[in-house]
A and B are shown apart, each in its own frame.
Chain A
């Protein structure tokens, strides 16, 4: 039986080794809890329970990390959250 040599494609170095960006929402005494929960559900498609968990984290701990990943998408999420008037910021994850 003849053996066939298969040439494997060259492995490229991953470009996603840099630390991800995080989408952080900070506490604001003005925004209503129900409003914040609704925005989290709308922007991230979270379940009511998951959205409430993040909302309560914001309320009690002052901040919550909503998402982490590539910069472009993180920027889009922050823009959407800010369009709903939440105090959302981008942070670079530690190395």
Chain B
């Protein structure tokens, strides 16, 4: 997979192997807010404070801030899903183009996906750095996607500044 920035400042991932493209296409399903596990929900929507004496603040946060966060995450997911529909095949490989105005949404959605993948299996730093990425197993597939999405984030951050 190659990464570059076009003359129009769009971000381009080229020569994506079709199997890798399948993993990238899985991002919207991974972060579908209606399908999140309890652990993933807890990680994406943490309380405002851990201090037990501020229960009212926690309740207000849940009532007024969480819906805004929910909408923010859903919006990023929609942008990514629309871009993924534009992926095209070139000589047996796949290309993905991300408009400059969509890059923030991509960073957000990639991070959502990584957190969801990690929270469901209680990943720690040791598991994350595991080189065992047998994608035929559930854990291996998750580790592979976590690292693939991290690579995509690093590419974007490097060029976005």
Q: How many residues of A contact B (CB 8 A)?
A: 21
Contact B118 A29 (CB under 8 A): yes
Known: A83-B72, A89-B47. A32 touches B153 (CB 8 A): yes
Contact B108 A32 (CB under 8 A): no
Contact A79 B68 (CB under 8 A): yes
Considering residues B43, B46, B118, B160, which has the most beta carbons from chain A within 10 angstroms of its beta carbon? B46
Contact B112 A85 (CB under 8 A): yes
B interface: dominant SS: helix
Query: Which residue of A is nearest B126, CB measured?
Result: A29
* CB under 8 Å from chain A, chain B span 47-63: 47-51, 54, 57
- How many whole Å from A78's CB to the nearest CB in chain B? 6
Task: Report chain A residues within 8 Å CB of B65.
Answer: 79, 82
Contact A35 B49 (CB under 8 A): no
Please report the C-alpha to C-alpha distance between residue A89 and residue B56 in the assembled complex, in whole angstroms.
15
Known: A79-B65, A79-B68, A82-B46. A91 touches B51 (CB 8 A): yes
* CB under 8 Å from chain B, chain A span 43-95: 75, 78-79, 82-85, 87-92
Task: Report chain B residues within 8 Å CB of A78.
Answer: 48
Known: A30-B114, A35-B153. A84 touches B108 (CB 8 A): yes
Q: A31-B115, A79-B68 are in contact. List 14 more A-B contacts (CB 8 A).
A: A28-B115, A29-B118, A29-B124, A29-B128, A32-B150, A32-B154, A34-B157, A35-B157, A75-B48, A79-B69, A85-B44, A89-B47, A89-B48, A89-B50
Write the residues of chain B forming the contact surface with A, with a CB cutoff of 8 angstroms: 43-51, 54, 57, 65, 68-69, 72, 107-108, 111-112, 114-115, 118, 123-125, 128, 146, 150, 153-154, 157-158, 160
Question: What are 14 A-B interface contacts by the 8 Å CB criterion?
Answer: A31-B114, A31-B115, A32-B153, A32-B154, A32-B157, A83-B68, A85-B112, A88-B46, A89-B47, A90-B48, A90-B49, A90-B57, A91-B50, A92-B51
